[in-house]
Structure 1
Amino acid sequence: MIIGNGLIANLFKENDREDVVFFASGVSNSLETAKTAFLREENLIKKTIEEHPEKVFIYFSTCSIYDSSKNDSPYVNHKLRMERWVEELCPRYLILRVSNAVGKGGNPNLLMNYLVNSVLQEREITIHSMAKRNLIDAEDIKNITLALIDKAQFNRIINLAYLENFSTAEILDVLEEYFDKKAKTQFMKSGQSYLITIPEVENYFTENHLIDKKEYVLRMLKKYY
């Protein structure tokens, strides 16, 4: 059972299961402030759990929780509150905190979509020199999630992120090479970086030979752009 129609939800269309709820609907914009948007997700979570208490509830949360610059943001506080709801109401659940997903389609404001479009359309990109973000291939999100379900790794919170963070400059270097196009940039000495630990999923990347940062970005570009 799939709840949602965005990038994450669409990953599981061919792997839908009657005994699992893939809950990937709700607030996805980290800049959201409207209480109605948060309430909509909260009500949908409660309703889905009440109607399907026998199913494993997979909730896709966010690694933005670890970003100290967003500690007081309505979005992060909402996601933490939803995580608590899932923990309290679900007999069997899995909370997956996802970093910056890269896949086919999705919101144009997603990091990789924004950077690719800016390079191709020759729009100026402001680079916060101290900022780093974590990119993860949407296909890897799907593969890891299904593996966790098969292993019955329930009633826990797990980070779904790549082995290392990327600076915007690192990502743009690969984009420029791939598209053979120079990015228009201006640098600001600012930005945040935060550590994401992935002990439960680290082996996935090593076993699948996905340990080279540059090659990982190139792989995603070839698949989706």
Structure 2
Amino acid sequence: MIIGSGQIAKAFTHEDSKDVLIFASGVANSKCTDKNEFIREENLLKKNLKLSNNKKFVYFSSCALSAKDYPLNEYYLHKKNMENIIRAKSENYYIIRLPQLIGNIFKEHNTLLNFLHHKIINEESFFIYKDGFRYVIEVNDVKLLVTKFIYKMPPRQVVDFANPYRYTIFEIVDAFEKILNKQAHYKVIDKHDSYYLNLKAMKEFIKNFSVKIDFSEKYLEEKLGKKLI
């Protein structure tokens, strides 16, 4: 069973979710402060935990929760609460923490990559943080890792999936400029916004089960290029 209609939900098929409940209907905007949206997800989550009959239960959270000392806004505190509910109510869960998602770049929504694409393609000015860094992963690679992980690994797992290379915001902007052949118009704010991830568990899983995935420093540009050209 697949719960949700967004990019992650659409990446999976009913064959992927056989004997599994994939919950991909959470609040997507990390800047969200709307308590009604948080309550909607919480109620839907609790309902589906009851309906799951202790099937494998997959929930998508944020890598920011794995980072030490990263300030948690209302959205991240909400995701933390959702994780705690799952731990309390399920014995068969897999919590997948994700970074910036490379999905449908052309869709206008509040992810960093979609924001940058919209601003650059429309030649609009924007601000970027001087010391901003982000991890990324492409939506089909999420599917690849998740579908293998939940059948190879025991339940009650919390794991980060991300390309191990940590990109500066400048590198991300440069990748868009190169692919789109357009110059970005931005001003730099002297602000720090970043965290480090320990991806040892993911790397060991990829190695132990020979998962074919091409993570590298060039990952972002290669994945964006396929989406935009």
Q: Taking structure 2 as the reference length, what is the TM-score of the superposition? A: 0.89
Aligned residue for 1:129, secondary structure, equals strand
Aligned residue for 1:17, secondary structure, equals coil
Question: Alignment identity in percent?
Answer: 30
1:176 deviates by 1.4
Equivalent residue number for residue 223 of structure 2: 220
Q: Kindly tell me: are residues 120 and 84 of structure 1, through their superposed partners in 2, closer, same or farther at Cα, counting changes over 3 Å?
A: same
Unaligned runs of at least 5 residues, structure 2: none
Match of 2:214 among 205, 210, 216: 210
Equivalent residue number for residue 7 of structure 1: 7
Aligned residues: CA RMSD: 2.0
Q: Deviations over 1:161-197 (max 9, x none)?
A: 1102111111111211111111112112112110111
Contact 2:163 / 2:219 at 8 angstroms: preserved in 1?
Answer: no
Aligned residue for 1:187, secondary structure, equals strand
Number of aligned residue pairs:
223
Unaligned runs of at least 5 residues, structure 1: none
CA distance in 1, matches of 2:125, 2:68: 25
Contact 2:108 / 2:118 at 8 angstroms: preserved in 1?
Answer: no
Matched, 1:148 2:152: no
CA distance in 1, matches of 2:42, 2:81: 9
Contact 1:61 / 1:95 at 8 angstroms: preserved in 2?
Answer: yes
Q: Taking structure 1 as the reference length, what is the TM-score of the superposition? A: 0.91
Q: Kindly tell me: are residues 125 and 208 of structure 1, through their superposed partners in 2, closer, same or farther at Cα, counting changes over 3 Å?
A: farther
1:69 deviates by 5.3
Equivalent residue number for residue 27 of structure 2: 27
CA distance in 1, matches of 2:32, 2:193: 19
1:117 deviates by 1.5
CA distance in 1, matches of 2:174, 2:184: 9
CA distance in 2, matches of 1:121, 1:2: 35
Equivalent residue number for residue 128 of structure 1: 129
AA aligned to 2:80 is L
